[in-house]
């Protein structure tokens, strides 16, 4: 099974930069998107991507956040959002149930400059981890998306100057450690434990992508008991169209 996750940083803008061509060439069984920045009815992909069923979670705020799941097979069920009402206004989570696992597409809240939103981010992390653990008690979980954290120093180009900044604060990194220690596996590090220079996001400033001065903040994370089924975990850094690139997971059926 071939799964792809991509923060498109505005789907309508990405569609002008080759998004549909990528989808057709990628031949993913499931494609998960983050930061679609859409409202209902603004995009209809039924004709352009006829092989997929599409599921959307929109933020209440226009032009902000949002997630989507495109699936060739019809899921057994689809749920939008999770947990308490506080987490349900920004369109950040879609959970699609398949016979063998739950697929969770997630766009984690950014802690923002100066860690202005770190308190909410920490509450989100604890509640979201509990949600994933509850799913995992029923069947294995595949979590994907822009999780807005570079876990280890190897996961960003300049760890020293960024220590304590949003996405590389001790608090956020600690929550990722807690998630992994609760029974989950980072699939890219499973197959590429020592690979440096592997990033999925680059700032639009300072020629960051040209210089590969990036961060690995987009993930496929699976329940530990699925780890033996991971055949491929790649970062598709050659794919343009967003400040993020897609990430890929192939699971043995």
- Catalytic hit among 52, 55, 58, 107: 107
Q: Where are the beta strands (DSSP E) in 178-252?
A: 184-186, 201-202, 214-215, 218-223, 230-235, 247-251
- Catalytic hit among 146, 155, 186, 218: 146
Beta bridge partners of 144: 105, 220
Pairwise CA distance, residues 241 & 19, whole Å: 7
- Going by C-alpha positions, the residue among 156, 157, 172 that lies closest to residue 109 is 172
**Residue with the two structure tokens 């961060």:** 215
Q: Is 155 a catalytic residue?
A: no
Q: Is 146 a catalytic residue?
A: yes
- DSSP-based three-state secondary structure for 222: strand
Pairwise CA distance, residues 68 & 58, whole Å: 8
Pairwise CA distance, residues 39 & 62, whole Å: 7
Sign of the alpha-carbon dihedral angle for 152, 153, 155, 161: positive
Catalytically active residues are 107, 146
């Amino acid at each position: 099974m071939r799964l792809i996750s991509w923060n498109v940083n505005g789907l309508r803008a990405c569609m002008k930069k080759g998004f549909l061509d990528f989808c057709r060439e990628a031949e993913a069984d499931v494609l998960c998107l983050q930061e679609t920045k859409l409202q209902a009815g603004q995009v209809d992909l039924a004709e352009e991507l006829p092989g997929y069923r599409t599921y959307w979670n929109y933020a209440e705020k226009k032009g902000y956040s949002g997630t989507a799941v495109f699936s060739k097979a019809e899921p057994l069920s689809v749920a939008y959002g999770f947990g308490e009402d506080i987490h349900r206004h920004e369109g950040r989570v879609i959970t699609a149930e398949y016979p063998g696992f739950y697929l969770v597409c997630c766009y984690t809240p950014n802690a923002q400059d100066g860690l202005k939103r770190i308190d909410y981010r920490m509450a989100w992390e604890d509640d979201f981890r509990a949600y994933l653990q509850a799913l995992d008690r029923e069947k294995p979980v595949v979590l994907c998306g822009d999780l807005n954290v570079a876990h280890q120093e190897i996961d960003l180009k300049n760890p020293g100057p960024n220590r304590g900044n949003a996405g590389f604060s001790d608090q956020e990194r600690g929550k990722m450690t807690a998630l992994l220690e609760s029974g989950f596996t980072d699939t890219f590090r499973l197959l590429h434990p020592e690979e440096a220079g592997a990033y999925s996001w680059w700032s639009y400033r300072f020629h960051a992508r040209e210089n590969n001065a990036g961060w690995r903040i987009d993930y496929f994370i699976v329940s530990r008991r699925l780890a033996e089924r991971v055949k491929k975990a790649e970062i598709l850094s050659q794919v343009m169209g967003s400040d993020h690139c897609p990430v890929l997971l192939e699971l043995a059926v």
